[in-house]
Amino acid sequence: MREAQADGVTTWAARGWADERGIDSATLSRLVRAWPRRAAVTSRSEILRDHAEFDPSIPDYPLGIVPFAEHPLFLAAAPEQRQRVLTGMWIGYNERVIATEQLIAEPAFGLVMRGVFPGSDDPLIRQGVQQALVDESFHTYMHMLAIDRARELRQVRSRPAQPELITYRRLRQTLAAMPERWERDVAVLVWGAMAETCINALLALLARDTGIQPMHSLITTLHLRDETAHGSVVVEVVRELYARMNAAQRRTVIRCLPPALEAFAEQDLSILRLELAAAGVAGAEEITGDLRTSSTGRRLVRDFSGAQRLVQQLGLAHEIDFDFPERPEWSPADGALR
């Protein structure tokens, strides 16, 4: 097959080149075959018609994962103000999940589907990634309905203008420092891979909580089932693509992994301040200021087991400068919920 050079990166003139035998991944093949019976869009679409009982006394968001839950100023707020904060955090959670899908995960999948990387034209990879794209579209729809229903039931008339998703801001900063298109493509792929391997941590925190509105737990549980499979798909796909990358592309993957991990770990305190202020809680600035001096208050994601597995599969465990924390007890095991 004819090899060509473009933007300093080796590309392949023939489509579907991966190698003469194609991709040979038993795991990816199994995940592709399981999709029709596993995916929420094919097996649980009735959620769109499900109107679970709503109890206004049940919170919308778990108080136990609110970083300022024990702050004296928050505890001093009126009960209805605290409830409005939790409702705002549930709505904001859904808004950020949608933004993550649309701004980070889907563009990365799109690059693979367009055959940008060597090996990405392989039929098995294309099937797995296209299935994930269908899932992501359905997830966006689920979370959009969750926002609409919460606003209707809680009579939320207006929302404070939300800042740009912090992980996307970090990605744009990284892309701005990359002069070559191929470098930017690799960065988008890495950010997308981190999105698909880190989002489980956020979903599991709500899916396992029995103290919030049942519909909220159901939506996050269904999303989590899909994303647990997506994490495995991404590990397999990125491993196959990385094996076919040239030295410059591989160096860019290594360079991008630490900032991508840090971006998904970061808590955007400005969002918390907005929710507190919108609910009329006095001292919103002081509350978030105190979080800024706390390591737990600055970190949003605390489970990086999926991303760590990807790093290990790529053989980069000793080349990535990131302090992976121990896996929490609540973290879904590999293959769980699949």
For the stretch 141-193, pLDDT in tens is: 999 999 999 999 999 999 999 999 999 999 999 999 999 999 999 999 999 99
pLDDT value of position 143:
94
pLDDT value of position 211:
92
Residues 6+ apart with CB under 8 A from 199: 97, 100, 227
Residues 6+ apart with CB under 8 A from 299: 265, 266, 267
pLDDT value of position 46:
67
pLDDT value of position 140:
93
Both tokens of residue 212? Answer: 């919030």
Q: What is the pTM of this model?
A: 0.86
Both tokens of residue 216? Answer: 């909220």
pLDDT value of position 51:
56
Identify residue 258 by its one-letter amino acid code. Answer: P
pLDDT value of position 301:
61
Q: Please report which helix (H) or strand (E) contains residue 4, including its range.
A: strand 3-6
Both tokens of residue 267? Answer: 């808590």
For the stretch 170-184, pLDDT in tens is: 999 999 999 999 999
CA angle 280, 166, 84 (to 5 degrees): 20
Answer for the pair 40, 135: CB distance below 8 angstroms, yes or no.
yes
CA Rg, the chain, in Å?
Answer: 21
Answer for the pair 193, 102: CB distance below 8 angstroms, yes or no.
no
- Domains of the chain by start residue, with CATH: 79-313 (1.10.620.20)
Burial bucket for residue 285 (CB in 10 Å: 0-12, 13-18, 19+): exposed
Q: Which residue shows structure tokens 């391997």?
A: 197
Dihedral over alpha carbons 279, 282, 288, 289 (to 10 degrees): 160
pLDDT value of position 24:
58
Which residues of the chain, if any, have pLDDT below 50? 1-21, 330, 334-338
